[in-house]
Amino acid sequence: MMGSENADGFEETNLNSQREDMENLDLGVDGDAGGDDPLKKSVVNGDTSNSGYRSAMSTLSNVHDPLSPPPTVMIPADSDPLLAPPSAYQDFSSFGSKPISSDNSYIEPPSYADVIFSPFDENSDSEINGAEDSSLHSQFSDSLSRSPSSSSSDYIKITVSSPQKEQETSNSIVGGNTYITYQITTRTNLPHLGGPSEFSVRRRFRDVVTLADRLAESYRGFCIPPRPDKSVVESQVMQKQEFVEQRRVALEKYLRRLSAHPVIRNSEELKAFLQAQGKLPLQLSTDVASRMLDGAVKLPKQLFGEGGASAVPVQEVVQPAKGGRDLLRLFKELRQSVSNDWGGSKPPVVEEDKEFLEKKEKMHDLEQQIINASQQAESLVKAQQDMGETMGELGLAFIKLTKFENEEATSNAQRIRANDMKNLATAAVKASRFYRELNSQTVKHLDTLHEYLGMMMAVQGAFADRSSALLTVQTLLSELPSLQARVEKLEAASSKVFGGDKSRIRKIEELKETIKVTEDAKNVAIREYERIKENNRSEVERLDKERRADFMNMMKGFVVNQVGYAEKMGNVWAKVAEESSQYDREKQSS
Amino acid sequence: MESTEQTRSISGSMQSPRSPSSLPYLSVSVTDPVKLGNGVQAYISYRVITKTNLPEYQGPEKIVIRRYSDFVWLRDRLFEKYKGIFIPPLPEKSAVEKFRFSAEFIEMRRAALDIFVNRIALHPEVQQSEDLRTFLQADEETMDRFRFQETGIFKKPADLMQMFRDVQSKVSDAVLGKEKPVEETTAAYEKLKHYIYELENHLAEAQKHAYRLVKRHRELGQSLLDFGKAVKLLGACEGEPTGKAFSDLGTKSELLSIKLQKEAQQVLMNFEEPLKDYVRYVQSIKATIAERGTAFKQHCELAETTKLKEINLDKLMLTRSDKVGEAEIEYREIKAESEVATRRFERIVTRMEEEIVRFQEQKTEEMGVAFHQFAKGQARLANSIADAWRSLLPKLEASSAVQI
């Protein structure tokens, strides 16, 4: 009966049956149907950001609240006036009980939660969005914003959907592999992307890897959001629907983060990925195999191999050394870094930026604390969830007791007791719902912590770019003197031979050429290093600002949420306390 | 002499002794648990304070020291003597050694024992029991002696007779080929039995969830504490004003953790324990039902035996046998026994009827109180949570205004 509503199938079975029981109770909707809908929407759009809280979320089953029955059911009188008009209890009057306690047509006054914190629950997020520097917030908590960010006029919204199995066309007799493609839909008004418009492409995961790699090349020093992991056991895991769904969600998040980055959102690489129909027109730069083949022609002359210096584009130097034809360079840079660490002499250019080193240290500490906080947040979410579950089970047990007592009643005392129990049970079930809603909101807010773990990785990446660029500079710088020395030695030896030593002279020519190339490369490398340093600086500054704003919003969202639901629960229980006030012994003690 | 139907206070203090002396009262409190003895022999002793103006008692106030097994003695005696009456239940013995001396367990037990004695003191019939007076007044040595007698292997002769008779009837059943045990089959009684058995199941489930709920409170409290700490550490890494905001958040979280632990304790004592007591009560009713079954069987069997003897006697009288005298004596004896058994059974029936009414009323009252306290506690907790978080909001607003 809940199958159609549940977007995910992650319910535990006993929770399932409990919910079925509860749904049969026709307790009616309470004041939170409003809270249900946007969250329902969010699940349908696949917006639920349940990254790190998967275990909690899987049994949370969001807010497809099976406790809210279809609208045809009578709603108990004491529900929130935001809903359909109240009426008397239909179901419970059939128990044959004379309501001893308060009249069942009593209307609950509007909850303070709704009045004071009027943008509350699902709405509070958009309030926060609207009031603050919401572009930042909405970029990082896409699932929270129902509407595009209100303060800036730019928007870009990416959706990943409809995974499909496809077959690789292959010339081989065996036939191709199957793989999954996803539909990437972009809606934007950015002129760079031809907006305002909406367009879709189909991409496979391999394309995403390519995109990530190309971005890493083009945007060294930037804090680039990390892409989703490849799966080791890909082909086996791939059949599972769960895996595909997880990946879809992860891809969506990744692309949204990319599009949130003020520089990367305008990149050609991202544009090609989002727009270019058919095959992704980005070169696989890490295709080691083809580069090796290519490299057979232009052998590893990168920087300063032996043999003729042919036109190795000096621009190559701005890329970090990779495998394949950069082996030689890798080797030399490795030697350099070892010498940096263990050698007695200082490297020619040193990371003299104390500020940078301190920053790096701080970032590391911050990352540790974010990890810790993220873990504790997960525990908190679990505890809230458990509380809600147990409260619900308690309520159910008392509902059964109520029914039982009423059926078997032979005395008035029993009927009174049954009625008292009913009030308690109803409240417990309501409270249980509140806990569940509270929790799904909490997950969304605290998810910010988890988001930033990803961003910390991006920062590490940016710092690593800087370090590797520096290493390149250092390596080049240390090569030059030794090259010079060799030239001098050859010149000295050659001058001793009368008439010139043809082979030596040729060698000297070659070396001089190499020196020139190396000089040029060195200069390029230094410029690159400076550029990366600047990228680092501005990125880290931007990120710090964004992170602080996002954390503030997270805290506010979390707190507002807690207040609102605590108020709701307080009201529910206060009502029960009032209805049972004849049992108040504190006043009557002699 | 009945104590008037008071609103029963669970704490055991009823009318104050200051009330006019014409109104009879008997109030008991079980207090002051103290661990005595060493090692395996260690046990808890309680102070039992009796305040009364009843003439059967030795004075307006009496204090004695009792231990758990003394309470068991009292209950066993009352159960024997007052068949048909639902003798209030005792808290369980603890199986787990470690838990036996934990503060929580000791307090739970003390409270339950207090309730136990007071219920007995309030019961119109049982409160007159001599055993109760012994329990409340005898010095410790005397009490030890009584207890040893009872719980030792030296059972009283009456008990031995009873055991013998039970065996006898089982044997005769088997001999006579009676497979089915003799049972009452009135519809009302059947309904009652069914009700009691079902009730136990329902209550046990409710109590189970109530206990879990206590645990959940504790767990939530713990996680709030850990979360608060983590958030504070995070704040220390961030510059202002975010750092301060985190610090405030963490502090509030830690504060709320304490409130949750407190509420957990309240839920345990004021909600879960009453439910557990309710379960025990129903179990004691089951024991009474068993007693009634036994009494009914005896009554039936003796009635039948009497009839047989009567028939036999008539036969002998007709044949003017010289065994008539003997048979007549036998017949009269059996008849007397049968009448006793029948009266015993009927008394149980009558008592049970009254007891059921009392039980239902008592439970409605006690559960009402428990529910009320639970609801109040939850409301208080929720409100203080709301207040605590709410007080943080202006600070957060201020911080975020500064930042951008």
pLDDT at B68: 92
For residue B197, the distance in angstroms to the closest alpha carbon of chain A comes to 12
Tell me what the mean pLDDT of segment A385-399 comes to: 96
Please indicate whether, in this complex, the C-beta atoms of B389 and A411 are within 8 angstroms of each other: no
The CA–CA distances, whole Å, from B42 to A28, B35, B72, B85 equal 55, 7, 17, 34
Distance CA B369, CA B371 (A): 5
In this prediction, residue A369 has a pLDDT band, given cuts at 50, 70 and 90, of very high
- Residue A126 and residue B203: Cα distance in Å, rounded? 45
pLDDT 10s digits, A89-99: 333 333 333 33
Q: What is the mean pLDDT of residues A101-128?
A: 37
CB A563 to CB B390 under 8 A? yes
* pLDDT(A197) > 80: yes
CB contact under 8 A, A570 and B236: no
- Reported as a single tens digit per residue, the pLDDT across B156-176 is 555 566 666 666 656 665 565
| One-letter identity of residue B64 | V
**Residue B9 sits at the chain A interface (C-beta within 8 Å):** yes
Contact criterion met (CB < 8 Å) for B209 and A420: no
Cβ contact (<8 Å) for A585 and B361? no
- A420 with B233: Cβ contact below 8 A: no
Chain B environment of A541 (Cβ under 8 Å): none
Number of H helices, E strands in chain A: 16, 3
Query: Which tens digit of pLDDT belongs to each residue from A478-493?
Result: 888 888 888 888 888 8
CB contact under 8 A, B385 and A559: no
Kindly identify which residue of chain A lies nearest to residue B379, measuring between CA atoms.
Answer: A570
Which pLDDT score is estimated for A107? 35
Higher model confidence: residue B271 or residue A171? B271
Query: Which residue does chain B place closest to A402, by CA atoms?
Result: B202
Please, which pLDDT band fits residue A447 given cuts at 50, 70 and 90? Answer: confident
| Average pLDDT estimate for B263-270 | 95
Per-residue pLDDT tens digits for A527-541: 888 999 999 999 999
> Any CB–CB contact under 8 A between B390 and chain A?
yes
Residue pairs between chains A and B whose CB atoms are closer than 8 Å: 210
- Say which residue, A175 or B228, is predicted with more confidence: B228
Rounded to an integer, what distance in angstroms lies between the CA atom of residue B1 and that of residue B122? 11
How crowded is residue A217: how many other Cβ atoms within 10 Å of its Cβ? 16
> Is B404 close to A549, i.e. CB distance below 8 A?
yes
Nearest to B378 among A404, A573, A583 (CB): A573
**B368 with A580: Cβ contact below 8 A:** yes
Chain A contact present for B246, CB below 8 A: yes
Distances in Å between the alpha carbon of B401 and those of A135, B35, B137, B397? 16, 59, 72, 6
Pair type for strands B43-52 and A178-188: unpaired
Distance, in Å, from the CA atom of A218 to the CA atom of A264, rounded to the nearest integer, reads 10
HSE-CB at B94 with a 13 A cutoff on CA atoms is: 15
Residue of B nearest to A392 (CA): B209
Q: Does the reported pTM lie above 0.90?
A: no
CA distance B213 to chain A (A): 6
Contact B213 A366 (CB under 8 A): no
Please tell me the distance in Å from B249's CA to the nearest CA on chain A: 8
* Mean pLDDT computed over every residue of chain A: 71
pLDDT tens track for A270-297: 999 998 888 887 775 544 433 333 333 3
